[in-house]
A and B are shown apart, each in its own frame.
Chain A
């Protein structure tokens, strides 16, 4: 009888230990550390769109190479505009737009929604309509000109 009581106590203790052990395993905590870095921008462009375009994935075929803008004929002293759609499939990014139009041929600006494009943020999977405005210098030499515009 005494032995049976001892066995019962042992079995009970072992059972409590098993349960306690199982419970502890369910409560394990793991410390996690990571460094999140900004994703690089992935820019694509669609040239030759209309001023009223609501840029989206369905606007046309975006590309990152072979981009050409044909301004046609512009008149000394006039203002000419061209529009492009920009897509960013990468991380959020602050835009910078530069050009190498010769100063003698005028000034070229880039705007998004009426504000300078440079400094504006384009988010992940976002689209933007960029307006390029060329104020042709009244003294620009009548000729054929080529120049570049970079968007980064």
Chain B
């Protein structure tokens, strides 16, 4: 008797569970971020406009450097890529930060890793910050290291070097370089904009920038710890 009752009920439940729906409804969620156009035509992503603090986060190590865990998690996996992914971890990777100053930390552009990866090319690096009045270590969480990558320079799609002592708006791909968390010249943090794709003078509204290659007509020499400079005035040749 029990079998007679339970069997049909079991079959009914089985039928219900196997039966789908004639209409499926999905619930969608997103966060819309403020965006801009890429000023470098070869950086084919839509940049999102962030503050420096949004990129670095508010978590610091004992020396005042920004931690990886607190910063922008939309970081690219390969700093040498000339076509980085536009999104990582559900976040855009190309960012725009406005009103940064160039004279913090290093005495101008440093020519790094020359010939170390590809012949006759260097990364052109600089530290940028949003508050030159801060003394260190408080300054470290207000600075970021940017690098015009040698592959972009070699392919003639890189921006010019930034003149020292100016306020600029910048665009670049977010990258975390774990090799520099103990470097004072890197603000004791691995955060970078690398590849650094474009810049303009703050307050201007340019949406394209000159692109080409920067070379050192002289020799690149170390001038201080971790900093190498060109012995003569670098030259920029524009191609785009």
- A54 interface residue, CB < 8 Å from B? no
Could you say which residues of chain B place their CB within 8 Å of the CB of A73?
30-33, 48, 74, 90-92
Among candidates A44, A64, A144, residue contacting B29 with C-beta atoms closer than 8 Å = A144
How many A residues have CB within 8 A of the partner chain?
47
- CB within 8 Å of A: which B183-239 residues: none
A152 and B22 within 8 A (CB): yes
How far apart are B96's CB and chain A's nearest CB, in angstroms?
10
Q: Who on chain B is nearest to A140 by CB?
A: B32
- A149 interface residue, CB < 8 Å from B? yes
- B11 interface residue, CB < 8 Å from A? no
A40 and B22 within 8 A (CB): yes
B30 and A144 within 8 A (CB): yes
A136 and B24 within 8 A (CB): no
- B27 interface residue, CB < 8 Å from A? yes
Quick one: given A75-B47, A76-B34, A141-B32, are A43 and B23 in contact (CB under 8 Å)?
A: yes
Quick one: given A72-B91, A152-B24, are A77 and B46 in contact (CB under 8 Å)?
A: yes
Quick one: given A42-B19, A75-B47, are A146 and B91 in contact (CB under 8 Å)?
A: no
Measured CA separation A70–B28 after assembly (Å): 6
Q: Who on chain A is nearest to B74 by CB?
A: A73
Q: Who on chain A is nearest to B46 by CB?
A: A78
Mask of A109-152 contacts with B, CB within 8 angstroms, 1/0: 00000000000000000000000001010101111111111111
Mask of A20-64 contacts with B, CB within 8 angstroms, 1/0: 000000000000000000001111110100000000000000001
Binding site for B on A (CB under 8 A): 40-45, 47, 64-65, 67-78, 80, 84, 86-90, 99, 101, 105, 134, 136, 138, 140-152
